[in-house]
Every structure is written in C-alpha cells, then in structure tokens.
Amino acid sequence: MTLRPRRLRATPAMRRLVSETLLHPADLVLPMFVREGAGAPVPISSMPGVVQHSLDSLRAALVAAAEAGVGGVMLFGVPEHKDAIGSGATDPDGILNVATRAAVEEVGGALVVQTDLCLDEFTDHGHCGVLDAEGRVDNDATLERYRDMALAQASAGSALLGLSGMMDGQVAAVRDALDTDGFAGNPILGYAAKYASAFYGPFREAVQSSLVGDRRTYQLDPANRREGLREIDLDVAEGADIVMVKPAMSYLDVLADAAAASPVPVWAYQVSGEYAMIEAAAAHGWIDRRRAVEESVLSIRRAGADAVLTYWATELAGWLR
C-alpha cells in the first residue's frame, strides 16, 4: 500500500500545516440586540448567553468584541413602541439609530458597525414591510420605507447596511437613495438568499416580535436551491457589495453555489436556532460545546462563506487568538 492519507493527519502540527480552511477573528461578525429603555442587559431565555443590551452594556460588549479582534457587529433595535409603518426605524432618536451612533463613537475605528435594515422589529404586525388594505405586505410601498431607513442609518454612521427584508428591488431602491443623498460610499449587504426557516424561532424572542402568521410570501421556500442563486444574481445586478445566505448550516449547498458564482463577497448567518440547539445539547452534556461551536462555524467557512455572522463571535475569536 503506497497511498496512505493518514500520513498528513499524524500530528497536530501536520494537520495544521495542511488545513484547507482556517478561521480568523476578522472573519466573524457579532449580531447584537439593543433594547430601548433598558437599564441593564436583559437575558434572552431561548438563547443562553445572549442578551438585549442597554446602551451601557452595549458599549462594554463592543469594546470586548474589538479587543477580541472580531471583524464587525450587526445591530438590531428593540423599541418600546411599534406602529403599522415602523416609525421608530426612521426616527433619528429611535433605538437603532441611537445605538448606531453610540457604537460608532465607541469602536467605529476598530469594528465595521453594521445595521439591520428591516421593519419587522418596529411594526406592530411584525412583518418586514408595510401592509396593504387586505393585510398583505406591499412590496413597493415598503421600498419607500427602506429608502428612508437607509438614509437614517447612514446618517447615524452605519458603515454597512444589511438589507434583510427580502422585498423585490430592495437593493436597487436603497442604492438609489444612498447615491442621491450623498451616501454613495456606503456599501450594501444584501440578504439575498434568506429562507423562510423554522430556525429563526429564538430570534423572535430576541427582538420581541409581534408577528402573527409567517413570511413565506417574501422569504424563500426551503425546498428551492436554484432560486437562492437567482436572488443572489439579482442583488449583485442591483448593486449589492456583499450578499448573504441565511440560515447557514441547513443551507450549505446554497452557500457553496453562491460562493462559486458570486463576483462579490458571500457571507452567511448562523441563526438563533442553530445557536440554541448547540447550547441546549451542550448544557445536557450531549456534545462537547467548544468543539461543536468551532466545527459549526468552520463548516460554514468551508462551504464558502467569506465571513460568518454568529452569536459566538467574541467568544470564538478569543479561542482563536
């Protein structure tokens, strides 16, 4: 026998030397929730270790992420009041815009401060857009709200706008708004292949979602692989600087397709349900927590993600360093 692949697995040093995929702290983005009116961080029961931050605890967590070498943070706002059109999303004094200014002031030179551009946290019906008279999400009316959100977030200092609403034409609409109003230098992260997934469950608690029903009329059908690539092609054509696949672990085939075809960076979001499952299994002693965390993120990078949004970003970055 002359073909012995085990030769390259014999020692930790050899395995490290021939590793095909490497993780680095700068490849990681930390999603963070900021709750309006909170005087202290509020634990999220379905996501052990993750909290809704107060503005003070946000600042401390941002510093910790920067010191760990994390590449960026993605901010989500949790407002005290909601309405049908998500007014808080475009209010300069709304929680997301206030948190963005605080984040930029604290770590803007060390981290890429990113913002979630979607209405679901701010609407009393919980959908990602405004509704028409029949209660359906009105795509084109929603685009007008997204344009206003983009300008509010860019004015607050967001370095990257994360368009997660899955409206047709959202990238083109936001790109036009930014270019027209003096923000041509602000890049767009298009959540291009975002699927209507059961794995978003704990996120609903994290943002105190008001959603009744589901989002299957605008998020992708989990059965469809080619459609994900079509959406990515459309976002790139409309001017997205980066595209996203979400969720990550259940859609590694879509991620691999996107990585092979996209001319722009491809990111993936390891969502709340993926996080919660590993934490729950580890809490029961069923799996090795650290190895499972590392392997799960490594698998997403291996499939082609240039960066990974993960709630373990700061902790994992510390291990890697």
Distances (CA, A) of 176 to 103, 114, 146, 239: 26, 19, 11, 9
Name 106's Cβ contacts closer than 8 Å, sequence gap at least 6.
59, 62, 63
Task: Indicate if 194 belongs to the active site.
Answer: yes
Residue 270's region, left for phi above 0, alpha for psi from -120 to 50, else beta, is beta
**φ/ψ of residue 205, rounded to 5:** -70, -40
53, 82, 215, 246: which is the annotated catalytic residue? Answer: 246
CA-based radius of gyration for the chain: 20
Omega within 30 of 0 (cis) for the link into 222? no
Task: Give the DSSP letter of residue 220.
Answer: B
Q: Give kind and range of the element (H or E) at residue 279.
A: helix 272-283
Q: How far apart are CA 20 and CA 16, in angstroms?
A: 9
Q: How many CA atoms lie within 13 Å of 143's alpha carbon, on the beta-carbon side?
A: 13
147, 194, 215, 301: which is the annotated catalytic residue? Answer: 194
Task: Indicate if 246 belongs to the active site.
Answer: yes
CB 255 within 8 A of CB 303: yes
The single-letter code of the amino acid at 247 is: P
3-state DSSP of 134-188: CCCECHHHHHHHHHHHHHHHHHHCCCEEEECCCCCCHHHHHHHHHHHCCCCCCCE
Partners of 301 in beta bridges: none
**φ/ψ of residue 208, rounded to 5:** 50, 55
The residues assigned a catalytic role are: 194, 246
